Amino acid sequence: MSDVAVVDYGMGNLRSVAKAIEHVAPRLSVEVTSDARQVARAARVVFPGQGAMPDCMREMEARGLRAAVLEAAATKPFLGICIGLQMLFEASEEGDTPGLGLLPGRVQRFPGERMADERGARLKVPHMGWNEVRQTVEHPLWRGIPQDSRFYFVHSYYLSCNDTDAVIATCTYGAPFAAVVARDNIAATQFHPEKSQDSGIQVLKNFARWEPAHR
């Protein structure tokens, strides 16, 4: 049994996530695994992902991980990262793909031709690079992280803040979107904490210590 299972379904730089957790929580055993039994036995689960959501959902299903991910999200501290956030919701416009349906909401694509900043300058899609994150709800993940800290994003699809009541932080890229969501024992970030230097490392450290009231 590992303390933290990083779910491996073939989509993402999982070793960097695992190494970052090992760095902030050296007393915890961290395992990158595609074995549903190992996910089920772990005390905490991290669910990263990058690439296209149709591919991520297909690969997760092909490895027989869906049931283990759903069970983990219902029973233990659970952290989604990037596509791992988007997969928690009902569906995505990317390939008209159904998600896991753990949280209400639909992921949509940034409207590239209409994307502009407050000065009217054109914004590129994907949203790639550093951006400020505005904390909107107090949460243990924010311990020790200043308001409007910057995190690293890479994504073309997003969750509108109007689509879910689980938002605990927002980011603005043309319009506000959900940067972090949380409900009960589930939390998820649209940014990559493992690439976000001190603030991102602190998010992972806080997750490693988080004891949700509802599990």
**Considering only CA atoms, which of 54, 59, 51 is closest in space to residue 7?**
59
**Considering only CA atoms, which of 8, 19, 18 is closest in space to residue 50?**
8
* Residue in 155, 161, 171, 194 annotated catalytic: 194
Whether the CB-CB separation of 205 and 213 falls below 8 Å is answered with no
Whether the CB-CB separation of 7 and 57 falls below 8 Å is answered with no
> Has 61 been annotated as catalytic?
no
Element (H, E) at 19: helix 14-24
* Residue in 155, 161, 171, 192 annotated catalytic: 192
* Residue in 56, 82, 161, 171 annotated catalytic: 82
Using CA atoms, how far apart are residues 180 and 15, in angstroms rounded to an integer?
22
Whether the CB-CB separation of 157 and 128 falls below 8 Å is answered with no
Count Cα atoms within 13 angstroms, Cβ side, for 192. 22
> Has 194 been annotated as catalytic?
yes
Using CA atoms, how far apart are residues 179 and 74, in angstroms rounded to an integer?
22
- E-only strand ranges, 13-135: 30-33, 44-47, 78-81, 91-92, 97-98, 106-109, 127-132, 134-135
> Has 214 been annotated as catalytic?
no
Using CA atoms, how far apart are residues 93 and 129, in angstroms rounded to an integer?
23
Task: State the catalytic residues.
Answer: 82, 192, 194
